[in-house]
Amino acid sequence: MTIEDLLHSPGEWLKTGGNLGDVVVSSRIRLARNLNGFHFLTKASAAERRDIVRTLCEAINSAQFGIETFYIDVEKADPIDRQFLVERQLISRQHGEGEGSRGVAIGATEQISLMINEEDHLRMQVLRHGMDLDAAWNQIATIDAALEATVEFAFHEQYGYLTACPTNVGTGLRVSVMLHLPALKITNEIEKVLRAAKDMRLAVRGLYGEGTEALGDFFQVSNQVTLGRSEEEIVTDFKNNVIPSIVRYEQETRKALRNDRLTALDDKIWRAFGVLSNARAISSEEALFLLSHLRLGTVMERIKHIDLGVINDLFLFTQSAHLQKRCGKRLDGEQRSILRADYIRERLAKAQPSTN
Query: Does the footprint of a second copy cover residue 352 (CB under 8 A)?
Result: yes
CB of 341 to a second copy, least distance (A): 7
CA 52 – CA 117 distance, rounded (Å): 8
Task: Give the residue with the Cβ less far from a second copy, 213 or 267.
Answer: 267
CA 142 – CA 148 distance, rounded (Å): 10
Segment holding 247, helix H or strand E: helix 243-260
Return the range that interacts with a second copy (CB under 8 A); candidates 31-39, 126-134, 165-173, 259-267. Answer: 259-267
CB of 110 to a second copy, least distance (A): 33
Query: Does the footprint of a second copy cover residue 25 (CB under 8 A)?
Result: no
CA dist list (Å): 140 to 66, 135, 137, 284: 12, 9, 5, 32
Binding mask 261-300 for a second copy (x = CB under 8 A): --xx-xx--xx-xxxxxxxxx-------------------
CB of 297 to a second copy, least distance (A): 11
Task: Give the residue with the Cβ less far from a second copy, 194 or 331.
Answer: 331
Query: Does the footprint of a second copy cover residue 349 (CB under 8 A)?
Result: yes
Task: Give the residue with the Cβ less far from a second copy, 1 or 264.
Answer: 264
Return the range that interacts with a second copy (CB under 8 A); candidates 129-137, 153-161, 191-199, 337-345. Answer: 337-345
Query: Does the footprint of a second copy cover residue 257 (CB under 8 A)?
Result: no
CB of 8 to a second copy, least distance (A): 23
> What contacts 316, CB < 8 A, 6 or more positions away?
10, 11, 13, 14, 87, 88, 322
CB of 305 to a second copy, least distance (A): 13
β-strands 173-180, 122-129 pairing = unpaired
CB of 346 to a second copy, least distance (A): 9
Q: Rounded to an integer, what is the distance from CA 47 to the centroid of its chain?
A: 31
CA 97 – CA 86 distance, rounded (Å): 10
CA 247 – CA 58 distance, rounded (Å): 41
CB of 242 to a second copy, least distance (A): 35
Q: Residue count at the site for a second copy (CB under 8 A)?
A: 22
Q: 170 with 228: CB under 8 angstroms?
A: yes
CA 52 – CA 58 distance, rounded (Å): 10
CA 345 – CA 339 distance, rounded (Å): 10
Query: Does the footprint of a second copy cover residue 201 (CB under 8 A)?
Result: no
CB of 300 to a second copy, least distance (A): 14
CA 173 – CA 70 distance, rounded (Å): 24
CB of 262 to a second copy, least distance (A): 9
Please name the amino acid found at residue 96.
G
Among 57, 194, 256, 338, binds a second copy (CB under 8 A): 338
**Phi, psi of 89, deg, nearest 5:** 65, 25
Task: Give the residue with the Cβ less far from a second copy, 323 or 341.
Answer: 341
CA 342 – CA 280 distance, rounded (Å): 7
Q: Rounded to an integer, what is the distance from CA 269 to the centroid of its chain?
A: 24
Task: Give the residue with the Cβ less far from a second copy, 193 or 339.
Answer: 339
CB of 302 to a second copy, least distance (A): 10
Query: Cβ–Cβ contacts within 10 Å for residue 47, how many?
Result: 9
Task: Give the residue with the Cβ less far from a second copy, 86 or 339.
Answer: 339
**Phi, psi of 218, deg, nearest 5:** -95, 130
Please report, as ranges, the residues that interact with a second copy according to CB under 8 A.
263-264, 266-267, 270-271, 273-281, 338, 341, 345, 349, 352, 355-356
